[in-house]
Amino acid sequence: MLRSFCFSSLILCAFACAPALAAGKEKPPEATVLLDRMTTEPQQYGGLSGREPKRLLVGFHYTDTHTFTGEFGQLDESLRPIRVGTLYGNLSPATPERSASCSFRVVFPDRSMTFNGACEPETLSGSITTRLTPIPLNAQLLNALSPDVSVGQYWLTKTGFRAALKSAGHSPSAEMTRVRTIPLTE
């Protein structure tokens, strides 16, 4: 009986693994694809985030005069992806009375991050709002009563993008600015 079960399991495993073996080369992980695409975007900005040296990277292209789409990446000090996703945003053009403002959002399975601020040719700056996405029903109810939100500030530069991609062995460039996150409390 046990032999029959083991043999059946082995056959089932062989059939399950066959497509992966037949496909040949494995596909790169989604994070790698998004980071590679980010490096080809016409608009690229970067900087440092938090107490630990995490690197924020943003790359995007305009889809029309008021909207843009692209990629967002948060890397650790060893340049490994912590969080990578697709961003969608809106741009309000500059007027003589005010500078251009932009807003973009990145949604992850466990949280969403909204960036609001000023958009200049060389910098993006403003505030980040992070909301956790609760999964269980009771957590959703608690989140509705007392949302789990944190806010912070960001300042990303065009030259900071390339500096953020340098290895951790090098000291960060002066263009790499720190971003601070503040949890909201009642």
Please indicate whether residue 82 or residue 7 has the higher confidence score (pLDDT): 82
Residue 36 is encoded by which pair of tokens?
A: 């590679």
pLDDT of residue 138: 61
Query: CB 33: neighbour CB atoms within 10 A?
Result: 13
Q: Are 47 and 163 within 8 A, CB to CB?
A: no
| Pair type for strands 149-157 and 67-75 | unpaired
pLDDT of residue 24: 45
Residue 16 is encoded by which pair of tokens?
A: 């399950």
Residue 150 pLDDT exceeds 80: no
pLDDT of residue 20: 45
Counted residue by residue, the chain has a size of 186
For 71-92, letters b (16+ CB in 10 Å) and e give bbbbbeeeeebebbbebebebe
Q: Over the stretch 45-91, which tens digit does the pLDDT of each residue have?
A: 999 766 666 888 999 999 998 999 999 998 888 888 888 999 999 99
Beta strand residue intervals within the chain, DSSP E: 43-49, 54-62, 67-75, 81-92, 101-107, 111-119, 123-132, 149-157, 181-183
pLDDT of residue 163: 85
Please indicate whether residue 167 or residue 121 has the higher confidence score (pLDDT): 121
Residue 164 pLDDT exceeds 50: yes
The owner of tokens 């994070």 is 31
Please indicate whether residue 25 or residue 159 has the higher confidence score (pLDDT): 159
Q: Over the stretch 98-112, which tens digit does the pLDDT of each residue have?
A: 888 999 999 988 889
Percent of the chain with pLDDT over 90: 30
Given pLDDT bands bounded at 50, 70 and 90, which one contains residue 10?
very low
Please indicate whether residue 71 or residue 27 has the higher confidence score (pLDDT): 71
